[in-house]
Structure 1
Amino acid sequence: MSNTAPKMLYHALLAAQAAGEPVTPAAIRAAITEATATLPAAQEAASALEARRRAVLLSAGEAELEAMERELAAHRRQAERLQVALETLVGLLSAAEAREAEGEVAALATAFAGRQAALEAHWKKAYPGALATLRKLLALEAEAEAAFEAWQRRRAVLVRQRPEAEETLPQAEGFPSLATGGTLLRRMVMLPDATGRLRSAEAIRLPYEPHVHNNGVAQSTRLDDMEADAAQRRERQKAEEEHQAMLRRKAEHFDRPRDNEVRRQQNWDQMVAGQRT
């Protein structure tokens, strides 16, 4: 065996790590793979050489034994170095993977912040116009619906009065038309104002629900819910603090002697002691 062991991946990797240079998890894994594959051979070589040395220990000359022992020491040292290198590399890999994971999370957070900023910028620019367009559509729909209902009512009155006129009158084709989707827009739309709230003068009307009357029914958005949750948490915290303060005051005054009151043995003993004096 050569006096100088061949350079392995972990040599350069540990040198770079000691110099403060960045080391990637992929590079560490490659070094671990190489060291793991090399370690058994070094251990087997040391074991085989030790067995051979023992076999010729009584017959070999001093020079031969010294050469064998030097070679055996080199094999053992190589195996020990690989073992320690593996332990060190495993620790480095854990730390590097943690840093890599933190970096990925930070990159995702940065990406989200960018997309969120883009959404908010476009929201502020486009959403007011979208609200205005929808309000206009809802107003036109309400006017068309009112005209349709007026036509239906007047036609029904005329048909009752003159049934023979039904065949000549325009037929009620229904509203809304297929061209607008066949569904009233006011039954679909529930858009908040630019601040995220539904219950404001600038918000689009609430959706129509045949089985629920929206008048008097509390409608809220996620923003309203979050603010309500925060208010409830503050109220609960305040109530808990007041309760704890009451318990502290009660504990502080519980053992204080009071006239004509025996609450604990300690008070009784104090009262008796007072009478004796």
Structure 2
Amino acid sequence: MTEINAFPQTLTIAGTDSGGGAGIMADIKTMQERHTFAAAVVVAVTAQNTLGVQDFMALPAKLIDEQFASLAADLKISACKTGMLADAEHVEIVAANLRKYDFGPLTVDPVMIAKGGAPLLAADAIDSVRQLLLPLATLVTPNLPEAQRLTGMTITNADETEAAAHYLQQLGAKNVLIKGGHADQSEVRDFALLASGDSFWVSAPRVATKRTHGTGDTLSSCITAELAKGKTMAQAIRLAKKFVAAAIAETIQVGHGHGPLNHWAYRGAEAWD
């Protein structure tokens, strides 16, 4: 007889995307594709599509607290991640709950701006992310603009990327993955700095497409799922890079703007596990 809660369970703590391409929707799709059971704590609700974010509203603190308590009372979360957290107040609420409950390794995806340019994190919340979330993070996964905002550093080359990763580690994040999608290069190169001090670059060919909505959410969710299944951090990062590369390369035609990834493109690639 299979033990209750033996199946790997993951948690996304973020905002919804009514268009289905990013946020909690992308997280759950990815976690499911990677054979984990996905749960969610909804921090904010957005009205958005591939053309942009039209509106959003953050949920009351009491309801967020109750979602955390409800999951802790029943499920056995093996790894979790954060995404859109809206503002400083909600960063504080989430951080307090993450200190209260053990939901396994925490991946912090410091979502600040939507693909279409809409702000998803208030400017005054960046200090809260630095001070409250990074010390709890098993991994932080900023893109280049987010890494620059978190560190206050200019990042234009490999040396500056590596220096920024070390700075983020000094702020408390055990492992750091700086994503290079915003760089103007023929390959998308991401830099990983591990808790051990080891580091490496992962790369994939750049695909000429606007259908990259939810890339960061998908990457961090895939890493979360792999950690929940017991993969090492290096293994999880390398596999997630392949997952996202396949999801971008095998595009689907949805929406008139920044379209979503193809979250099932990676199916059948057991050799990559």
TM-score range, shorter chain: under 0.3
TM-score in terms of structure 2 length? 0.19
Higher helix share: 1
Higher strand share: 2
Q: Which structure's relative contact order is higher, taking Cα pairs within 8 Å and 6+ residues apart?
A: 2
